[in-house]
Amino acid sequence: MTLTMYGIKNCDTIKKARRWLEEQGVAYQFHDYRADGLTERQLRGFVEQLGWQPLLNTRGTTWRKLDEAERNACDNAEAAIALMLAQPAIVKRPLLDDGRGHALLGFSADGYQQFISEVGV
């Protein structure tokens, strides 16, 4: 089994997470939201696993650039999915997925260590 990390390659947190995986010798594929795209099916799967609120990065630059009406309209799963598909940079990252129904959002060394142990990589 190979893990897939979803994100944007120039994100500092992605760089830290990738470095950590490589230092641990953990095989993974990288999927760049911007370069490789994000399908509605993929996103709906992530929303089902993790919820739309955690996936929506309301602390980043992309969110802050939205006008108030756009931010206020994003108050349910369908609106959030539409926004995330239109602007993939607004999806919180990194998202680490084992392809078998287990996913982890964000990065911390301890969290990654626990996730890798649990999924048996």
CATH number of the domain encompassing residue 47: 3.40.30.10
Distance CA 17, CA 79 (A): 29
Q: Which structural domain, as residue segments, surrounds residue 18?
A: 3-119
Strand 103-105 and strand 95-97: pairing?
Answer: antiparallel
Among 3, 5, 11, 17, the one annotated catalytic: 11
Q: Which residue is it, tokens 């939205």?
A: 66
**9 confidence band (pLDDT: 50, 70, 90):** very high
Residue 112 has pLDDT above 70, yes or no: yes
Paired residues of 105 in beta bridges = 95
Q: Average pLDDT in the 85-103 region? A: 93
pLDDT tens column, 16-70: 999 999 999 999 999 999 899 999 999 999 999 999 999 999 998 999 999 999 9
Q: Mean pLDDT, to the nearest integer, of 88-111?
A: 94
74 has catalytic annotation: no
* Overall number of domains in the chain: 1
Q: How far apart are the first and last CA of the chain?
A: 7
